[in-house]
Amino acid sequence: MLDSNGVGAKRAPAASRPIATAVVACAIFTCLCSSSAASTVPVRRSASRLSPATERARTQAPAAQATPSGPARVVVTISLEGVRIPAVNVTLTNVDGNVTIARTISDAIGQVVFPDVSPGHYVVKGQRDGFADAESARFTVDSGKETEQVLIEMRSSSA
């Protein structure tokens, strides 16, 4: 193989190629996880995990905002110690009637969106091989609320 100057170029030893591939994969994963869209999405956590400043920011509503009506959108983020987990089986359940509303699998960045969720009380459950089953805290979808953010915190099955 010749480089742009016509000089024979040497290929990296085979042993170093997997390491370079792993470094590139880690860089891409880090970029995806640290993108502004991924890092600025607020998520619902149990009250014991929120700092006072975060709780105030989450509960304060903007003053001049039109109130939407009808079904809401539920955005679920699945993570393990802050790292998002893809390919998790996610179930949305209405706890008022113990009815499964929808099932799906989380995307490559560990998120699921359930559009058009009617007002009511819900939980979200996550299951994936190698992890203990996890369930969100009970949350309420209110009429007039556009989006509900929910966090499922997964644990390793060996923990």
Q: In this predicted model, what pLDDT tens digit does every residue of 93-137 receive, in sequence order? A: 999 989 999 999 999 999 999 999 999 999 999 999 999 999 999
**Separation of alpha carbons 80 and 4, rounded Å:** 46
In a domain, 93, yes or no: yes
Number of separate helices (H) and strands (E) present in the chain: 3, 11
- Report the C-alpha dihedral over residues 58, 133, 121, 63, rounded to 10 degrees: 10
Q: Which residue segment(s) compose the domain that 128 sits in? A: 44-59+67-156
Report yes or no: 90 and 105 within 8 Å, Cβ to Cβ. Answer: yes
Burial 74-108 (b: 16+ CB within 10 A, else e): bbbbbbbeeebbeebebbbbbeeeeeebeeeebee
In a domain, 35, yes or no: no
**pLDDT 10s digits, 85-95:** 999 999 999 99
User: Residue 69 — very low, low, confident or very high, per pLDDT cuts 50/70/90?
Assistant: low
Mean pLDDT, rounded, of the chain = 73
1 pLDDT above the threshold of 90: no
Task: State residue 71's pLDDT score.
Answer: 85
In a domain, 152, yes or no: yes
CATH number of the domain that residue 110 is part of: 2.60.40.10
How many domains in the chain?
A: 1
In a domain, 24, yes or no: no
For the entire predicted model, the pTM comes to: 0.56
